[in-house]
Amino acid sequence: MTKPPAARQPDPRRRRAERLGRLAEAKAAMLLRLKGYRISALRWKSPAGEIDLIARRGSAVAFVEVKARSTADEALASLGTYQRRRIVSAARHWLAANPDAVNCDCRFDIILVTPYQWPQHIANAFAADDQ
């Protein structure tokens, strides 16, 4: 009788990064709630990719990417063109699945999370056609 292969233990650095990412997303969601947004989705997945937060306030729908780094400049620099394209494509999937939001004002925001500071919300950080 053969033994099943031993389960691989997840890399501790990867688990720590996952925890930090979830904490950053929780901080970002709290900030948006304090600003009057309603969180429609958290870590929404599509065939094109994942959107960290989808938030609504009035007729606005914000597709939010959360970036946690040691400085705000590092966090902002970590969002490249490929990732922006992926977010825009995933947002199109979300809009197709939520036809009631098609007539809303859609935008792409970034929330920068750095240690010992309030998260920084950049509304309309990039446009869908900037890609």
- Alpha-helical (H) ranges within the chain are 12-34, 72-77, 81-97
36: pLDDT strictly greater than 90:
yes
Q: 125 Cβ partners below 8 Å, 6+ apart? A: 65, 79, 108, 109, 110
Residue 121, pLDDT score: 97
**Is 88 in a helix, a strand, or coil?**
helix
In the predicted model, what is the mean pLDDT of residues 18-41? 94
Residue 14, pLDDT score: 87
Strand 49-57 versus strand 38-46 pairing type: antiparallel
Residue 101, pLDDT score: 84
In the predicted model, what is the mean pLDDT of residues 21-37? 96
Which pTM value belongs to this model? Answer: 0.86
d(CA 29, CA 121): 11
Dihedral angle at the C-alpha atoms of 86, 88, 91, 93, nearest 10 degrees? -70
Residue 4, pLDDT score: 66
Contact in structure between 52 and 25 (CB atoms under 8 Å): yes
Query: In Å, how far from its chain's centre is CA 113?
Result: 12
Residue 65, pLDDT score: 96
Model confidence pLDDT, tens digit, residues 58-76? 999 999 999 999 999 999 9
Model confidence pLDDT, tens digit, residues 73-125? 999 999 999 999 999 999 999 999 998 887 889 999 999 999 999 999 999 99
d(CA 16, CA 10): 10
Residue 18, pLDDT score: 86
> Domains in the chain, start-ordered, CATH in brackets?
13-130 (3.40.1350.10)
